[in-house]
Chains A and B, each alone.
Chain A
C-alpha cells in the first residue's frame, strides 16, 4: 500500500508542486480548497489524490516555499491554511519556465514532422 502511494507522488511530483504553488498565488488556501481549485480549474480533468496532496504540501512547507497557519474558516471550522512565501514565488517562476521548456520539448518530440516542414 505504502509503495503505491509513493510511486504516485513521484509520478506527479514536479507538476503537483507547480499546480499547488500556482493555486496559492491567488491567496491562502487550505488543503481541501487547493484540491478543489485544481479540479475546477482543470475542468475536472486533474483529480488530486489526497495521499499525494498532503505529502506534497508538507514537503513544500519544509522547503519553505509555502507557510502554514491555523485559521477559522467561514464555516467556523479550524483549518490549516497555506500561503506562498517570497521564496515560493521565485520557485513558482522558475518552475513555470521549466514547465514551459518541458512542454515545448515534448511538443517538439511529438511533432517532429511539422518542424521539418517548416524548415
Chain B
C-alpha cells in the first residue's frame, strides 16, 4: 500500500518536473540572436581579412619604407608618411582645441547652469548637432575657417591643417560635450552633498570631487570622439586637405600653414587611382589607419580601467 502510493506520487512529481517538453520558440529566438551576431561579425571579419590579404604583402615588400615615404604617382615609391604625420598633428590639434572646450562646456551645463528652458533648449540642440552629417561640417570649415585664414592672407588660400582641425573640432565637440555631461551626471548626488556638507564651494566640489569621479567616463568618451575625427574624410575634402601629391613642408610654421593631408584622405585618393598597384597600397594604408584607430580605443579602455580602480 505504502509503496504503491509513494510511486504514484513519484510519478506525478516526475511529470511536473519534466515540464512541457522543449521550448521551441525559445530555441528559435536563441538561434536568431546567434545568427545576428554571426552576420555582424561575418561582415567585419570579411572586410578585415580582405584588406589584410591585399595589404600585408605591401608591408612585407616595402616594410618601414612604405610608412615613411612621401605621396607619389609612382606606386613603387608611394608611401603614407605625409598622411601619418598629418593625422598625428591633426589629432594633437583637435585634442588641444576640443577637449578643454567640450569638457568645460559640459561642466557648465551640468554643474553650473540653472535648470531652465534655455539650458534645456541648448542641451537638445547639442544632441541635434551630434547628428548633423559630417559633410555639413566640411562646408562650415570651408566657408568659415578656410575663408577666415584666406582673409588673413595665409598661404595656400587658407587651406591649412589648423582650419582642418577647427572643422573636426566642430564635428566632434557635440559628442565630447554629450559624453562628458553623461559622465558628470553619473556621479552620485551623495558625493556632491558630502562635499558641500563639509563647507566646500561649488568650484571645490566640482574640481576635487566631481571631476575626478567622472574622469574615466570623460576620458573614454573624448578619446573615442577623437578616434572618430581621425577617421573622417568628408569634411576635410571640403575644408582643404590635399588630394594627390605635394612636397612635404619644412618647419613648424609651414606644417601649420602649408598644404597637408591625413591618412583617410590618402586612402580615398589612392582608391580612385587607375593603376592596379594602388589597390594594394590602399589596403595597406587602411591597415595603418585601423591600427591608429584601434590603438586610440585601446588607450581609452586602458585609461578607464586605470581610473576606475581608484
Q: Is chain B found bound to chain A in the same assembly?
A: no
